[in-house]
Amino acid sequence: MSVSSGRKLTQILGAELDKLVTLPLIWFTLMGTFILNLVLAAAFTSVGVQRATGTQNILNIGLASMGYLQAGFIILGILATCSEYTGGQIRTTLITIPWRGFQLSTKHLALAIITIPVAFIIAASGVLYTFIMMRDTKIVIEIDTMITTLIGATGYLTLTTLLSAAVGALLRRTTPALVVLLGYYFIVSPLTRVFLPSNKNFLNYFPDTAGSYMYMPSSSDEISVLTPMQGTGISMLWTLSFITVAIVFYRKRDA
């Protein structure tokens, strides 16, 4: 039976979306991330209210939880690819869709379709909470800055999710993938920033630091900062190269 290529794409995309949506762990992760984000936003806001120096920006406080928030999205990405390998689901998948590279790229596309709205809602909820709580402190905020920052945060979270999915597809097991990614994002990266400040220019090109420029408001006191567009480009490059490596391995390797 010959199916046109466009039809094939929609069918595979539908199947991949179906698989993702029916994973209960994904919904637990997303809900947990949402609740955690609100709790953290509350904590950061109460700290911000106490200080009340006026220089504090609502966006800064609302997005301060991003550092923790990305953990939820890392888990999301890993779950999406590693769930195929618990049990023999991967073999069923490959029997029905024998085009491996095509299948994995569609999986990433399906993941992105789910991640983008969720990331936007979660990032916006944090900012919104801060905004409501700090209404009376009379901090003016331009609506277009807010929107660009939120889009940047959404993009960062989506790229992180896709990167984690690619790493998950490379390692094929949940625990090592989780340890490697969380270890990098939460241990290695902050520590190298503290201990090796002289290499700052160099560190700017790593996926998390480059990505953070997508939503960080630009501060003028640092020399070596990247513009949001540069940050986006670099972290997109990282994500794409990880996906490419994952696809190459996926095509070569025994399932």
Q: Give the whole-angstrom CA distance, residue 106 versus residue 96.
A: 14
Select the residue interacting with another protein from 7, 135, 173, 251 (CB under 8 A): 173
Stretch touching another protein by CB under 8 A, among 97-105, 154-162, 167-175, 223-231: 167-175
Quote the radius of gyration of the chain (alpha carbons, Å): 20
- Shortest distance in whole angstroms from residue 32 CB to another protein: 8
130 membership: H or E segment, kind and range: helix 100-133
Stretch touching another protein by CB under 8 A, among 6-14, 107-115, 143-151, 181-189: 181-189
With CB under 8 A as the rule, give the number of residues binding another protein: 31
168 membership: H or E segment, kind and range: helix 143-171
Using rule CB under 8 A, residue 86 touches another protein: yes
Q: Which is nearer to another protein, 187 or 229 (CB)?
A: 187
- Shortest distance in whole angstroms from residue 180 CB to another protein: 9
Using rule CB under 8 A, residue 95 touches another protein: no
Stretch touching another protein by CB under 8 A, among 2-10, 12-20, 53-61, 80-88: 80-88
Long-range contacts of 6-13 (CB under 8 A, 24+ apart): 9/106, 12/97, 12/102, 12/103, 12/106, 13/106, 13/109, 13/110
The secondary structure of residue 213, as a DSSP letter, is T
- Shortest distance in whole angstroms from residue 40 CB to another protein: 7
- Shortest distance in whole angstroms from residue 145 CB to another protein: 25
Using rule CB under 8 A, residue 40 touches another protein: yes
Using rule CB under 8 A, residue 186 touches another protein: yes
Q: Give the whole-angstrom CA distance, residue 87 versus residue 152.
A: 37
Cβ pair 229, 94 in contact under 8 A:
no
The secondary structure of residue 25, as a DSSP letter, is H
Cβ pair 52, 139 in contact under 8 A:
no
Using rule CB under 8 A, residue 98 touches another protein: no
Cβ pair 199, 190 in contact under 8 A:
no
Q: Give the whole-angstrom CA distance, residue 228 versus residue 234.
A: 10
Binding letters toward another protein, positions 49-78, x by CB under 8 A: ------------------xx--x---x---
Which residues of this protein are in contact with another protein, per CB under 8 A? 25, 32, 40, 43-44, 46-47, 67-68, 71, 75, 79, 86-88, 173-176, 178-179, 182-183, 186-187, 190-192, 194-196
